[in-house]
Amino acid sequence: MIKRIKDRAGLLIHSRTIHEFIENITPFTLEFIMAIPLFLYVIQPMLIVPEGFRGKIDIFLYRVYALNLMALAPVILLIWAFCIFVMIMKMHYSHTDICTSVKSNPIYMLFILCMITMLISVLVDGPTGRTLFGDEPQHEGILSYYGYIAVLFFLASMITDRRIKKVICDATLISSLPVCAFAYWRCYIQDSVMDVSGYDDHIPTAFFGHFNCYGYYLAVNIMLAAALFVVVKKKGQKLFYLITFAINVWMLNLNNTFGAWLACFCGFIFMIIAESLMNGRLMLRSLFPMMAFLAITVLMSIFWHGMLGDFFRFFSDVKEVASDPSHADEAGTSRWVLWKETVKLIKKKPLSGYGIEGIGSTLMKKCGTTRAHNEILQYAATFGIPNVILYTAATVGVFIRAIRNRKSLGVITFACLTSAFTYYVSAMFGNSMYATAPFFFIFLGLGHRSTND
């Protein structure tokens, strides 16, 4: 691959005209360039670890992550703009109609409409100091949401080469290991807990600002490792994915984010069903990661700290909500009352929502937090119900497309979809954030097309 890239770079450098330059950019070369921003993003957590081990203070370390991503933004946007330019020129030279190409892909059309409703919501509610870049700790303004969809998802969705996809997947998993080591060292050896929300119960958060956010990051890596373990053939690779899987599951139990644990449980069910559809029969190999996940949870619950108790408490909460929703405010660690208050706010402004962080002060007064802890409700409250319908339709559409093309779905694409599905489930119990949400859009995009597409 390196030799191929070097040879192609030589051709590009010696191109005499723009037409020749564009023609020398092969589909593989373009996909490789598109993968650079994704690669830079997924390795960022690993690059923060040295700062942490050097003993930087907690709040500074938390901001280093945000500042690093901000510093990358111009590079990512430059690469994105270059890729868009190359695609437009290739379509121009091949006499392909751009509008027809976009219309032929309903997923892109839905996401474009989703972005339009975001802009309308912001204009209707009026710009504020949070409109463009959001505020701490989320750092999610309209530019962030546009970046998730138009940059990260789009670039990832254009990649079909399985080797490039696998490099991004492996980089993500490799990056998660030093983060686990740092989270353990920071919490149990250095005896320091960083949680900007003020929650201090000696739970490892690494540098994600809240233990829930780290939990969602762990869930993405757990299911990515599990799916790759199931589908790869080489023993050395299987061993790597199994070790990575076990370490992240161990850390998730210490992290105590039950929403992420439950998302993984649902992710295993998705993985088993999806692989059965791909192969036309139930594959017993897909059951092993789920059994290992449950075994680690049980052992951790017995000998240290696991989430078996939270699992049984979940059923108690469901029963409480089902029997009397009006008196179940404590269910789901008070998420039920938070969701009810958010729904009340949505009913008052169902079409345009309240704008970026528009419901934060109201929720803080009533529930002690600024977000709904449910991304679907958060999108509806922020941008309106039409927006959340478009967003959900586009997201679900990617999975429907995969089901229709299941016979030709590549194994790496399958693993990316498993990881994206797991995050989507975890999003029903948590908040989006600049440090975690992009992983969903990256892997959702990587699951959009297979090699034969």
- DSSP secondary structure string, 338-362? HHHHHHHHHHHSTTT---TTTTHHH
Confidence of residue 178 (pLDDT cuts 50, 70, 90): very high
Tokens standing for residue 359: 């419901």
Q: What dihedral angle (degrees, nearest 10) is formed by the CA atoms of 349, 353, 354, 360?
A: 100
Quote the pLDDT of residue 134.
83
Nearest-Å Rg of the Cα atoms of the chain is: 22
Sign of CA dihedral 70, 72, 78, 82: negative
Most confident of 9-18, 84-93, 192-201: 84-93
Residue-wise pLDDT tens digits, 223-271: 999 999 999 999 999 999 999 999 999 999 999 889 999 999 999 999 9
Most confident of 192-196, 209-213, 317-321, 409-413: 409-413
Among the ranges given (24-33, 127-136, 306-315), the one the predictor scored with the smallest mean pLDDT: 306-315
171: pLDDT strictly greater than 80 = yes
Report the alpha-carbon distance of residue 321 to residue 328 in Å, rounded: 5
Mean pLDDT of 15-31: 89
Contact 418, 426 (CB under 8 A): no
Residue-wise pLDDT tens digits, 374-403: 999 999 999 999 999 999 999 999 999 999
Contact 275, 230 (CB under 8 A): yes
Q: How many CB atoms lie within 10 A of CB 174?
A: 14
Amino acid at 445: G
pTM (predicted TM-score): 0.92
Confidence of residue 328 (pLDDT cuts 50, 70, 90): low
| CA neighbor of 444 nearest in space, from 380, 404, 400 | 400
Instruction: Collapse the DSSP code of 40 into the 3-class scheme (helix H, G, I; strand E, B; otherwise coil) and give the result.
Output: helix
First to last CA, the chain: 21
CA 84 to chain centre: 23
Percent of the chain with pLDDT over 70: 90
Contact 399, 443 (CB under 8 A): no
Report the alpha-carbon distance of residue 83 to residue 25 in Å, rounded: 10
Q: How many CB atoms lie within 10 A of CB 390?
A: 23
Report the alpha-carbon distance of residue 198 to residue 417 in Å, rounded: 34
Quote the pLDDT of residue 391.
97
Mean pLDDT of 31-50: 93
Contact 208, 436 (CB under 8 A): yes
Would you say how long the chain is, in residues? 453
Mean pLDDT of 187-193: 75
